[in-house]
Structures are given as C-alpha cells and as structure tokens.
Amino acid sequence: MSTSACITTPIYYVNDRPHIGHAYTTTICDVWSRAARLRGSDVFFLTGTDEHGSKVEKSAAARGILPQALADENAAEFQRVLAVFGISNSDFIRTTQPRHERQVRALLQRLVKTGAVYLGTFEGWYDDGQEEYHTETRARELNYKSPISGKPLTRATEQNYYFKLSAYADRLATHFASHPDFVRPLERSNEMLARLRDGLQDVPITRTNFSWGISMPDAPGHVVYVWIDALFNYITALDLGATDGDRTGGSPYWPADYHIVGKEILWFHAVIWPALLMALELPLPKCIYAHSFWIADGQKMSKSLGNFVDLPTIDRYIAHFGLDAWRWYMATQGPIAATDSDFSAKHFHEIYTADLVNTVGNCPSRVGAMIAKYFDGVLPVDTRPQDPPDSGPSWEAICSNTVSDWERRMAAFDLHGAARVAMDLLRRVDVFINDTAPFKLAKDPANAERLASILNQCAQTVRVAGVLLEPFMPSKMAELARAFGSVPSGEVAWSVRAKYGTIAAGHRIEKLALFPRVDPVKIAPSPS
C-alpha cells in the first residue's frame, strides 16, 4: 500500500524571470519528491505561478501589454524551465486559472459568513514593492523602510476587508509549542515565536488601489490582496475549496508534509496561512521549512549589482558541467539551513571535481574496470561475505544502516545529510579497495576467491549508493543502474531496490565514465 505525501514550492511571481532562487527551491523539492516516490509514496509535488497584484499590473503597463499577456508569457517560461532543471512536479497551478479563482472566492465567502473576514478601515504604512501593509509598531521596527527593497514605506488609509488574525494568536502559539517541527529551522521558528509574542493584529486582505486580481465576492471595487490569493493555491490545487455549502472536501495529499519557502516569506506561511486554515477548519501543514538565500561573493544577489545568477547563466553551468552536476550543487551546497550560501564558479568546480569526478564517477569506474580486467566484465561470486571476519560489519549491514539513515534524513528534509551518507558509502568502498588492494591480490591465483568476493561486495555497495543518489542525479544514476545491471526505478519495490546483494553473480557489469574532468571556466553572470 502506498502512502500519500505532499510538498510545495512557493508560487513564483510572473513579473520576474526564473533565476537561481526559483531553481533552488524547486530543485530541493524535486529531490525530496523523488526520494519519497522511490520509497513508494504517492507524492503530490506542487509548484506554480503567482500572477496577480499591482507589481504584475505595473510591469505589464511598462511593457504596454495586458497583465494576462505578461502572466501567460512568464508562466510559460517558468513551465519551460522546469524541464530544463529535470523537475518532476505533479501539477502547476496558476492563480489566474478559473479553478483557483473560483475556489478563492468560495473560500472568502465562507470566511465572511463565519465572521473571520469583516469590513474595516486601515491606517498605517504600506510597502509598495511587497504590496504589504504594516502597523505603526511594525513600521517603527522596520525604520519605516521596506525590509526587502529598503525603500521608504508610505502612509496609507484604506477601507478594506480584514482577516481577524488577532483571534488566532493563542491557538497559533499553542500549535507552535505542541509541534516543535512546525516551522524549521529552529532559528526561524524562534523568530516567528518572538513576533507572535508581540501580539497579532487583523490584516487587510483586500485592496482598492488596483484591479489586477480576484474580485472580492459581493464587494465591488475590492480586489483580494495578492498574498491571500496566493496562499490559497496550496489548497485550490487539491480542490479543497471546491465545496457545496460550508463543507470543504478532503484530499489524500492534505495536510502537506512540507511547504518549502525562502526565509523572506515565512511570516505569511507560518502565521497568516495557518490562521486562515484554522478559520476554515482545515488541518495545518506538517512543516513549513524556510531556507536561506543564495548570495554572491558575500553580497545579496541583485540585478543592479550584476551578480545575479539568472537563467542564461544557469544554462551556461548546465552546458559546461551537466544538469545532474547543477542539481547536485543546488541540493548539497545550498542555503537549506539558517545561513546564506555563497555561489561561486570556483566553488562549483571544486565540488564537481571532489564529489562527482573523484567519488561518484571514479569509484564505480574503478570497480567496473577491475571486474572487466580480472573477470571479463562478469560479476564474480561472493563466497566470503565477511572478509576478513573480524574486520567489522559486513557490507550488507553497512548498506542496510546507510539506507535507514538516508531514509530518516530524507523524511526530515535533511538533504545535505542524505547526500553525505550516500557519498560516505562510496568513499568507504574506495577505502576498502585501497586497504584490500585487489590489484595486488590479482597477481596470485591463490587469491582468486578473495578477489572475487571483494569485487562483488564493491559492486553491490556501489549499486546501493547509486540508488540513494538517484533523487539528486536522476539521469547519471540511471546510467549507473544500467551499467551495474540493476532495474530502473519505479519498476521494483523500494525494499528490493535498496537491498544489498541483488546483482546476481554472472551479471555483466559495464564500464562507465559518469563525470568527465572539466576545466574550471569562469562563468560570469549575464550583463545586467
């Protein structure tokens, strides 16, 4: 029986073109999804585009086109690049799709009916770039400047519909306390808790100063605030807002296992979104995981600084190093935890060489070459599974422990840890080869049985490591699986695929060269 799982990326603004940040979040969600599918889960992996709001309206006006035309153009571009990055999403939601708009209106109608949304007047401060209102207290904390763009906040008075966020402060605090993994990493959870302790104010959820958005039901002139519209995507994609009367439907994929977001949008996801779900009497996501930022040479990436890793730059990396190398770098060197990661061409090349050329490429190629040389490419029989018997755990035990460790780390979204344990397995094989020196043993026919066992054990372990690396590097690991005679993913249960010892003796092992050594080119960001 397969279990269901759900993971989401933020939905990306269509007034921007795809860049490293979008590639990053989407790729790490893809790695998790592929790992969960390998383990037999039925995964719903959602991504999409956030298409409403005054930013899109303004960008379209600047180009002299309609907002919908801009949205169509850039949503198509986002969808195109999913294929470039090898992304296995299950759905792509666009907030201008009728399925989304219809459900957002129905959900808001329910919130008005229950009193969670009401009409009121707002006086405070407005962050134009973020389309976000701030109270006096918060604006003072921010020094009356946008925390994102640094531009001054402007004074605003507006009649809006409000969401009664203040009513959920206690329930949210209780939820944080009883679910320590609700917001991760811990540093981010503590930040949210500190802000929660300051108290919550009701938030305006409609705007009257622009028209490109979902119109508020029964309220002419009121357009749903883009953030509220956008947050609902996580449930409209699952049809949870498509209800008769007051009841919401269910979905095997809800609540989501993970909402993966950048740290700058955590407040919306960790506080406003859960409160909206509480108001709708829907279960809360299990974990909201906020990663940090890619930066360049210690500085924030920005178009004006010309250090932005945009799509053409990414394309150059992929052309030079290959897609799987790009994915590996994203998933293992990225800002998954509470600190930012520096992106540099030099570091990229170092990681490519150390991890991929010297380990993931070299170890299987060494094993394959020795099997070719000493056994005509045919896997010999292992008659001495624990050899020498007092040398510690068997390879079977090592692999089984590694697989369990990897499973635990993947489930916990510890992608760096999961990658490391898989790499350690290959490094251990390398050490084993150096220690047992099969090339020396091969000189004396009396060692034939021992040599056969050693190479069988190496091949079996390499195959298992390849399976664990597959979510990170699907196409290279498919090559490895083919060369070591194992079945492609999806066709065999996880318990069999992850098991040590499944390559039958007598099987032909192909030689392979997975990652060629490449020169450290200087890949400069595109000119701004």
User: How many residues line the site for ligand ME8 (CB under 6 A)?
Assistant: 20
Per-residue binding string, ligand ME8, 279-298, x by CB under 6 A, is: --------------xx----
Is 81 a binding residue for ligand ME8 by CB under 6 A? The answer is no
Shortest Cβ contact with ligand ME8: which residue? 21
Is 525 a binding residue for ligand ME8 by CB under 6 A? The answer is no
Question: Which positions from 310 through 349 interact with ligand ME8, judged by CB under 6 A?
Answer: none
The nearer residue to ligand ME8, 127 or 405, going by C-beta atoms, is: 127
Among residues 265, 279, 289, 278, which one has the least CA distance to residue 175?
A: 278
The nearer residue to ligand ME8, 187 or 449, going by C-beta atoms, is: 187
* Contact predicate 305/16, CB 8 Å: no
Nearest-approach distance from CB 172 to ligand ME8, in angstroms: 18
DSSP structural state of residue 305: T
DSSP structural state of residue 243: -
d(CA 269, CA 260): 10
The nearer residue to ligand ME8, 184 or 497, going by C-beta atoms, is: 184
Is 11 a binding residue for ligand ME8 by CB under 6 A? The answer is yes
Is 205 a binding residue for ligand ME8 by CB under 6 A? The answer is no
**Amino acid found at 135:** T
Nearest-approach distance from CB 227 to ligand ME8, in angstroms: 7
Side-chain half-sphere exposure of 449, counting CA atoms within 13 A: 7
Options 6, 82, 228, 231; binder of ligand ME8; rule CB under 6 A: 231
Nearest-approach distance from CB 50 to ligand ME8, in angstroms: 3
Judge residue 473's burial from the number of C-beta atoms within 10 Å of its C-beta, 0-12 exposed, 13-18 middle, 19 or more buried: buried
The nearer residue to ligand ME8, 219 or 265, going by C-beta atoms, is: 265
Per-residue binding string, ligand ME8, 50-69, x by CB under 6 A, is: x-------------------
d(CA 18, CA 129): 18
DSSP structural state of residue 150: -
In the three-class reduction of DSSP (H, G, I as helix; E, B as strand; rest coil), residue 46 is classed as strand
Question: Which positions from 12 through 31 interact with ligand ME8, judged by CB under 6 A?
Answer: 12-13, 16, 21-22, 24-25
Q: Which residues pair with 289 in a beta bridge?
A: 184, 260
Question: Which positions from 241 through 270 interact with ligand ME8, judged by CB under 6 A?
Answer: 261-262, 264-265
d(CA 334, CA 342): 8
Residue 496, Cβ neighbours under 10 Å: how many?
Answer: 11
Structure-token pair, residue 166:
């203040």
The nearer residue to ligand ME8, 231 or 458, going by C-beta atoms, is: 231
Give me the phi and psi of 431, to 5 degrees please: -65, -40
Is 125 a binding residue for ligand ME8 by CB under 6 A? The answer is no
The nearer residue to ligand ME8, 265 or 351, going by C-beta atoms, is: 265
* Contact predicate 498/465, CB 8 Å: no
Nearest-approach distance from CB 236 to ligand ME8, in angstroms: 11
In the sheet with 42-50, reading across from the earlier edge strand, the strands are 91-94, 42-50, 4-13, 258-262, 287-291, 183-184
Q: Where does this chain bind ligand ME8 (CB under 6 A)?
A: 10-13, 16, 21-22, 24-25, 50, 230-231, 233, 261-262, 264-265, 293-294, 301
